[in-house]
Structure 1
Amino acid sequence: MHASQKRSAGLGLALASAFAFGGSGVAAKPLIEAGLDPLHVVWLRVTGAALVMLPVAWRHRRLVRERPVLLAGFGLFAVAGVQAFYFASISRIPVGVALLIEYLAPALVLGWVRFVQRRPVTRAAAVGVVLAVGGLACVVEVWAGLGFDAVGLLLALGAACCQVGYFVLSDQGAGHGETADSEPPHPVGVIAYGLLAGAVVLTVVAGPWAMDWAVLGGSAEMNGHDVPAWLLLCWIVLLATVLAYATGVVSVRLLSPQVAGVVACLEAVVATVLAWVLLGEHLSPPQLVGGGVVLIGAFIAQSSAPRPPSGPVASGPGVTVAGAAEAQEPAGTGSELSRPPASP
């Protein structure tokens, strides 16, 4: 494949991933409003995707022995943590607002790099952080005493912190006990086992045996229209999880974490537009402007963050995985495994 064809294919897959991830909250919110607990919706999403990815997990079963910490961290933070906090937040605040708050993750990662690891950051990266925080102030309407539910805002911030936790874990685990010739973990295998680990954690936390299963046999309302609940669940599992992660990983391999991360910023735009059209969630002009500033700040922060020394995780074969994925990882952290899941 020629370079131009490779780039075009990568951009197409990155766009597909952003659109797929962007629809997760829009499909989940009607199920939550129909009577399902947010944690139960997350459990259905993660467990369903884990079952679909079982053949992939079996093919990469050596990862359980070679990378147990990485798999556990991905399952706990990038899968269970991000998605649980995100779905809980959208039960209280608009989908677009929750996802934009998650885009503070690049700024938080830079804060970790500067103040905890005591590594320098560029002036442009600092500007990106200031823009992201300032834009977020417009999104949450600080001049109105926070125009949204404070608990919902804190839950969305928790999702951003979970993304940071996985990024830091990947960064600190890079190269530990490994040689330069070690084979990097395959990102699809990491995703498969991350989903399995997340499903185990969520089974304990969510208690699916207490779920109102009858809701899945009924319908959920989307902006005045009834939609079969099972159809929304298929959307969440197959499109917003399996397809989203798979296309995101391949796009990073064809492009680069930086370019794929920039395209992933469209996820917030997609989520906001879909929530506007399908859920009737309207944002005010100042909030829309603030959202744009958040994305610009996140882009600058991702593009300007310093790179850590490369290692088996940092130089993996291709994330946002984040997320990282809900998830895409800030390019400066070096890991290519996560997608941000912001909406995970």
Structure 2
Amino acid sequence: MLTTALAPAVWGTTYFVTTEFLPPGRPLLAAVVRALPAGLVLVALTRRLPSGSWWWRAAVLGALNIGAFLALLFVAAYRLPGGVAATVGAVQPLIAAGLSAALLGERLSLRTVAAGVAGIAGVSLLVLRAGARLDGLGVAAALGGAVVMATGVVLSKRWTSPAPLLATTGWQLVAGGVLLLPVALLVEGPPPASLTTANLAGYAYLTVIGSALTYALWFRGIRALPATDVTFLGLLSPVVATTVGWLALGQDLTPAQVLGGVVVLGSLVAAQIRTRKPAPQSRPQPRPTVPQTQRS
């Protein structure tokens, strides 16, 4: 659980890295650099390619978990204030809980639903600002991002790959990066002619730490944990992003934001609680009696 939580916690630093280190106006390029090189390196290191049905399964999972999700995420980020996009995206655990009940047979408990609603409320307190504007296409993109990511997590749980974890991670990153590459070229044009040292450092961080390492931890968690539990951990990203903004950028941290962070963490804890039935205790077997004739 803790190692899986590292992934969304690291993803919470993406906004800081993007604004402080990367060239402006190139979010799709950042998404491609984040996914494709890391995937190619993992595939080269593991020397394992998909086989059989895993050619199309890896493509579907890569599109859901990486390509489509990041594209919709950046559309929402461009058309909505960050607080609105994060609040809409916080419905992902509830969507994953419903899909897990339908596709995986997991029980949808009242505690899970209550924790999901509390998570949305906590994120809204943490990042939503008064007077935030709404954009129909932006809201649709944010909601679509939550749907495709939740679907990707649930299908990753349903389709257990026979390959090593790093190989499966590499397949999905390559598939998502290949999907994003033509979109980035069409929307943003070719990469900048020159990059600064800070730009290269930012891209290296997103590729190595923000993608290769964290997605391996994320997919490892999907294999080991219930899908709903994994998606709840995604609520850590806005908490970390707000904390980094306060510590590194000097942004204000209001009492309402502190309350929102506490509510989010409380929802995470509540979502992980499982009611364990006590194991049935076996009654001691009576000792066999020895007939009187045998005693003599």
Same fold (TM over 0.5): yes
Q: Which runs of 5+ in 1 are unaligned?
A: 1-9, 176-182, 220-227, 306-344
Counterpart CA distance in 1 for 2:98 and 2:114 is 12
| Identical aligned residues as a percent | 24
Alignment of 1:171-182 (within 5 A): 173-174=158-159
State yes or no: 1:37 paired with 2:16: no
1:149–1:27 distance in 2 versus 1, CA, 3 Å: farther
- 2:114 partner amino acid: V
Show the counterpart of 1:162. 148
Match for 2:205 among 235, 239, 264? 235
State yes or no: 1:292 paired with 2:262: yes
Decide whether the 8 Å contact of 1:98 with 1:156 is kept in 2. yes
State yes or no: 1:198 paired with 2:185: no
1:159–1:238 distance in 2 versus 1, CA, 3 Å: same
Q: Deviation digits for residues 82-122 of structure 1, max 9, x if unmatched?
A: 22233444456676775565342111122345689998521
Decide whether the 8 Å contact of 1:138 with 1:287 is kept in 2. yes
Match for 1:60 among 30, 33, 48? 48
Alignment of 1:262-341 (within 5 A): 266-282=236-252, 284-301=254-271, 303=273
Decide whether the 8 Å contact of 1:95 with 1:271 is kept in 2. no
Show the counterpart of 1:244. 214
- 2:48 partner amino acid: H
**RMSD over equivalenced CA pairs, Å:** 3.9
Counterpart CA distance in 1 for 2:44 and 2:103 is 40
Which deviates more from structure 2 when the two are superposed, residues 87-96 or residues 234-243? 87-96
Counterpart CA distance in 2 for 1:16 and 1:120 is 26
Show the counterpart of 2:66. 79
Counterpart CA distance in 2 for 1:134 and 1:102 is 12
Three-state SS of the structure 2 residue aligned to 1:207 is helix
- Counting matched residue pairs gives 271
1:263–1:174 distance in 2 versus 1, CA, 3 Å: closer
Q: CA deviation at 1:198?
A: 0.8
- 1:198 partner amino acid: G
Three-state SS of the structure 2 residue aligned to 1:27 is helix
Counterpart CA distance in 1 for 2:140 and 2:169 is 27
Counterpart CA distance in 1 for 2:260 and 2:36 is 35
- 2:32 partner amino acid: W
Decide whether the 8 Å contact of 1:22 with 1:240 is kept in 2. no
Q: CA deviation at 1:66?
A: 3.9
1:112–1:68 distance in 2 versus 1, CA, 3 Å: same
Counterpart CA distance in 1 for 2:180 and 2:6 is 27
Counterpart CA distance in 1 for 2:153 and 2:219 is 16
State yes or no: 1:121 paired with 2:108: yes
Match for 1:210 among 189, 210, 234? 189
Q: Deviation digits for residues 166-190 of structure 1, max 9, x if unmatched?
A: 134345x548xxxxxxx73433222
Decide whether the 8 Å contact of 2:126 with 2:239 is kept in 1. no
Show the counterpart of 1:184. 162
- 1:123 partner amino acid: L
Decide whether the 8 Å contact of 1:28 with 1:87 is kept in 2. no
Show the counterpart of 1:130. 117
Q: Deviation digits for residues 232-270 of structure 1, max 9, x if unmatched?
A: 1111111111122234456778xx426984776544432
Greater CA radius of gyration, 1 or 2?
2
Q: Which runs of 5+ in 2 are unaligned?
A: 276-296
Decide whether the 8 Å contact of 2:127 with 2:242 is kept in 1. no
Decide whether the 8 Å contact of 1:129 with 1:297 is kept in 2. yes
Decide whether the 8 Å contact of 2:72 with 2:145 is kept in 1. yes
Counterpart CA distance in 2 for 1:84 and 1:292 is 30
Give the TM-score normalised by structure 1: 0.63
Three-state SS of the structure 1 residue aligned to 2:24 is coil
Q: CA deviation at 1:129?
A: 2.5
